[in-house]
Structure 1
């Protein structure tokens, strides 16, 4: 079976429930990663292989509180950067060696008359 991404919205009222929900999500066998998503960080995105989304939702409902299954879908694969693309290089940095050794004193000032 291919990897799936499950997004679950959980009502978490305090820090203990947040830690408990993440611990439950990670404890299932087959889970590769779990993270908080959404603007208010009330959704948990779980990347998994061979995990039942209903089982995850049921476990979270029993121990944390109200849980809603938002989406289940395939994981978006990241495409590697093209080898032919050239990255812009920064201009070389010129360092005055006298400024390095003399610090803020600089070169001695000579006045030619």
Structure 2
């Protein structure tokens, strides 16, 4: 299914724009990529079977902040898609063994230090 996606990327200069474009064009299924917006801070990618979330994560990793703005199917329906973190809580197992210390009954207490 052909789709067009817009990704907002924080790009500081010509070098980061070039790097972002190389990353976008390097994914399988991408047919074209173009810079859009007033300050050329959005990349518009057109392709068939391109994973928008994977592209956004690659741009975050290599260039900087990236936000998926919109994904549009070739049919013309515009579908806003916000990426939500799906992180799972990591629970690290404790390697410290827990020991249970039981006190003897009160009648068996022996006070070795009696000052009074």
Structure 2: which 5+ residue stretches go unaligned?
Answer: 77-116
> What is aligned with 2:27?
28
SS at match of 2:11: coil
Tell me which stretches of 4 or more aligned residues in structure 1 moved more than 4 Å.
Answer: none
> What is aligned with 2:17?
18
- 1:29 and 1:52 map into 2 onto residues whose CA distance is 9
Structure 1: which 5+ residue stretches go unaligned?
Answer: 78-113
> What is aligned with 1:66?
65
Q: Which has the larger radius of gyration?
A: 2
Q: Is the 8 A contact 1:8 1:45 kept in 2?
A: yes
- 2:6 and 2:75 map into 1 onto residues whose CA distance is 14
TM-score by length of 2: 0.62
- Give the total of aligned pairs: 76
SS at match of 1:71: strand
TM-score by length of 1: 0.64
